[in-house]
Structure 1
Amino acid sequence: MRIGIDAGGTFTDFVVLHDGGRMETFKLRSNPKAPHEVILAGLARIANPEPCDVIHGSTVATNALLERKGARTAFLTTAGFEDLLEIGRQNRAQLYNLTPGPKRLLIPPELCFGVKERTLADGSIESVPSGLATLRGKLRRAGVESVSVGFLHSYRTPANEQAVAEALGDEFYLSISHRICPEFREFERASTTALNAYVGPLMRNYLSQLGRATHHRVWIVQSNGGSITVGEAGDQAVRTILSGPAGGVTGAAETARASGFRKVLGFDMGGTSTDVSLCDGAPRETLEASVDGLPVKLPMLEIHTVGAGGGSIAYVDSGGLLRVGPESAGADPGPACYGSGTRATTTDAHVVLGRIAADQLVGGAMTLQPERARQAIQELAVQLSLPETEAAAGILRVANATMGRAIRVVSIERGYDPRDFALLAFGGCGGLHACELAEDLGIHTVLVPALAGALSALGMLLADRIRDYSAGALGLANPDQAFQHLEQQAQAEMPGAQLERFADLRYLGQSYELTVPWNAKSPARPFHALHKKTYGYSNPQREIEIVTLRVRARIAVRKPRLLDKTPADATPPQTRRFYAGGKWVRGPVYNRAQLSQEPVSGPALVVDYGSTTLIPPGWNVRRDPTGMLVVERHQPV
Structure 2
Amino acid sequence: MKRVSVDIGGTFTDCFVAWDNKYIESKALTTHQNLALGFNEALKNACVELNLKESDLLSQVDSVRYATTLGTNALIQRKGPRLGMLTTMGFRSSVPLARAKGYATGLPHKEQMDVPNAQRPDPIVPIPMILDVRERIDYQGDVLLKLDEDDLRQKLRELVDKGAEAIVVTLANSVVNPEHELRVREVFLKEYPGHMLGAIPMLLSHQVGGRKGEYARAMSTIMDGFLHSTMYHGLGTLELNLRTAGYDKPMLCNHNSGGMAQLNSTDALQTVHSGPVSGIAASETLALQTELGNIVATDMGGTSFDIGIVVDGGVKYYDFNPEIERWMVAVPMVHLVTLGAGGGSICQYDRIYKTVQVGPESAGSDPGPAAYDRGGMRPTVTDADLMLGYLDPANYAGGHIKLNPKRSKQTLEELAEELDGDLIETCKLVKQTVDGNMANGIARELRTRGYEPVNFTTLAYGGNGPLHACGIARALGVKKILAPPFASTFSAVGAGNMNQMHIHELSTWTVLFDANQKKLFRDYAKFNGFVEELERRGREDLLRQGFEANKINYRLELDMRYGNQRVTTAVVTDLRRMDGQSDVLKLMEQFHQRYGERFGKGSQVTEAGVRVNTLRVCSFVETPSVNFQGLKPEGKGKKPPAPVSKRACHFVGHAKALETPIYGEDALAAETEIDGPAIVVTKATTYLIEPGWRYRATAQRAVWFTRND
TM-score, normalisation: structure 1: 0.94
Matched, 1:248 2:279: yes
The structure 1 residue matched to 2:309, chosen from 243, 258, 278, is 278
Cα deviation for residue 291 of structure 1 reads 1.5
**Residue 667 (structure 2) pairs with residue 594 (structure 1):** yes
Is the contact between residue 129 and residue 163 of structure 1 (CA under 8 Å) also seen in structure 2?
no
Equivalent residues of 1:259, 1:628 under 8 A apart: no
1-structure distance, mates of 2:24, 2:68: 21
Distance 1:42 1:616 in 2: 31
State the AA in 2 paired with 1:122: Q
Equivalent residue number for residue 58 of structure 1: 68
- Name the counterpart of 2:444: 409
Q: Which residue of 2 aligns with 1:35?
A: 35
Q: Give distance in 1, aligned partners of 2:412 and 2:288.
A: 40
1:429 maps to 2:483: no
Q: Which residue of 2 aligns with 1:48?
A: 55
Gaps of 5+ in 1: none
Between 141-150 and 387-396, the greater mean CA deviation after superposition: 141-150
Question: Does residue 326 in structure 1 map to residue 360 in structure 2?
Answer: yes
Which whole-Å CA distance do the structure 1 matches of 2:626 and 2:482 have between them?
20
Per-residue deviation at 1:318? Answer: 4.5
From 490, 498, 509, the equivalent of 1:474 is 509
Contact 2:344 2:362 in 1 (8 A): yes
Query: Of 296, 302, 327, which residue of structure 1 is paired with 2:329?
Result: 296
SS in 2 for 1:609: coil
Describe how 1:447-458 pairs up with structure 2 within 5 A. 447-458=482-493
Corresponding residue SS for 1:89: helix
Partner of 1:542: 608
Q: CA deviation digits over 1:153-179, x for unaligned, max 9?
A: 001000111111223334322221111
CA distance in 1, matches of 2:289, 2:674: 22
Q: Which moved more, 1:617-626 or 1:37-46?
A: 37-46
Q: Residues of 2 paired with 1:427 and 1:68: CA distance?
A: 28
Residue 511 in structure 1 maps to residue 566 in structure 2:
yes
Structure 1 residues 409 and 297, CA, compared in 2 at 3 Å: closer, same or farther?
farther
What is the Cα deviation at residue 570 of structure 1?
Answer: 6.7
Structure 1 residue identity aligned to 2:125: I
Amino acid in structure 2 at the alignment position of 1:589: I
What's the counterpart of residue 490 of structure 1? 538
Counterpart CA distance in 2 for 1:258 and 1:371 is: 46
Selected match of 2:86 from 67, 70, 76: 76
Q: Residue 136 of structure 1 aligns with which residue?
A: 156
SS at match of 1:379: helix
Please say if residues 9 and 272 of structure 1, whose CA atoms lie closer than 8 Å, have aligned partners that are also in contact.
yes
**What is the one-letter code of the residue matched to 1:586?**
E
Find out whether 1:180 has 2:208 as its counterpart: yes
Alignment partners' CA distance in 1, 2:685 and 2:43 = 22
What corresponds to 1:623 in structure 2?
697
Which ranges in structure 2 are unaligned for 5 or more consecutive residues?
Answer: 48-53, 105-111, 512-522, 543-548, 632-637
Which whole-Å CA distance do the structure 1 matches of 2:73 and 2:444 have between them?
24
Cα distance in structure 2, aligned partners of 1:258 and 1:599: 24
The 1:159/1:105 distance shift into structure 2, 3 A limit, reads: same
Deviation at 1:256, TM superposition (A): 4.5
Within the candidate set 448, 452, 455, 1:420 is matched to 455
In proportion to residue count, which structure has more helix? 2
Shift of 1:99: 4.5
Report the 3-state secondary structure (helix = DSSP H, G, I; strand = E; otherwise coil) of the residue aligned with 1:102.
coil
Q: Aligned AA for 1:554?
A: F
Of 112, 123, 130, the match for 1:105: 123
**For residues 548 and 125 of structure 1, do their structure 2 counterparts lie closer, same or farther at Cα, with a shift above 3 Å needed?**
same
1:317-368 Cα shifts (integer Å, max 9, x gaps): 4445422212211111111111122221100000000001112212223221
Tell me which amino acid in the other structure corresponds to 2:25: T
Report the alpha carbon displacement of residue 81 of structure 1 after superposing the two structures with TM. 0.6
Residues 44 and 227 of structure 1: CA distance in aligned 2, closer, same or farther (over 3 Å): same
Amino acid at match of 2:648: R
Helix, strand or coil: the match of 1:471?
strand
Cα distance between partner residues in 2 of 1:248 and 1:503 = 26
Measured in 1, the distance between the counterparts of 2:639 and 2:272 equals 42
Listed as ranges, the matches of 1:511-590 within 5 Å are 511-518=566-573, 519=575, 520=578, 521=583, 522-536=586-600, 537-563=603-629, 571-574=641-644, 575-583=646-654, 584-590=657-663
Conserved 8 A contact 2:435-2:475 = no
* CA distance in 2: counterparts of 1:201 and 1:57, whole angstroms: 18
Offset at 1:51? 5.8
Work out whether residues 251 and 455 of structure 1, in 8 Å CA contact, stay in contact via their aligned partners in 2. Answer: yes
The range that moved more, 124-133 or 341-350, is: 124-133
Match of 1:459 in 2: 494
Distance 2:470 2:569 in 1: 35
Question: Are the equivalent residues in 2 in contact too, given 1:335–1:345 (CA < 8 A)?
Answer: yes
Instruction: Tell me the residue number matched to 2:166.
Output: 146
Q: CA deviation at 1:506?
A: 0.3
Give yes or no for the alignment of 1:311 onto 2:385. Answer: no
Distance in 1, Cα, partners of 2:298 & 2:458: 7
Moved more, 301-310 or 316-325: 316-325
8 Å CA contact 1:605, 1:613 repeated in 2: yes
The aligned amino acid for 2:699 is P
User: Equivalents in 2 of 1:23, 1:362: separation in Å?
Assistant: 18
Cα distance 1:406–1:299, how it changes in 2: closer, same or farther (>3 A)? same
Aligned residues: 630
Q: Supply the distance in 2 between the matched residues of 1:44 and 1:581 (Cα, whole angstroms).
A: 39
Aligned to 1:156: 176
CA distance in 2, matches of 1:238, 1:545: 29
> Percent identity at matched positions?
27
More moved, 357-366 vs 250-259: 250-259
2:226 equivalent to 1:207: no
> 1:16 matched to which residue of 2?
17
Deviation, 1:137, is 2.1
Conserved 8 A contact 1:621-1:630:
yes
Please give the alpha-carbon distance, in whole angstroms, between the structure 1 residues aligned to 2:534 and 2:459.
37
| Cα pair 2:166 2:202 within 8 Å, conserved | yes
Give the alignment's TM-score, normalised by structure 2.
0.85
Q: Hey, what does 2:136 align to over in structure 1? A: 118
- What SS is found at the alignment partner of 1:380? helix
Q: Which amino acid in 2 is paired with 1:238? A: L
| Letter matched to residue 252 of structure 2 | W
**What does residue 608 of structure 1 align with?**
682
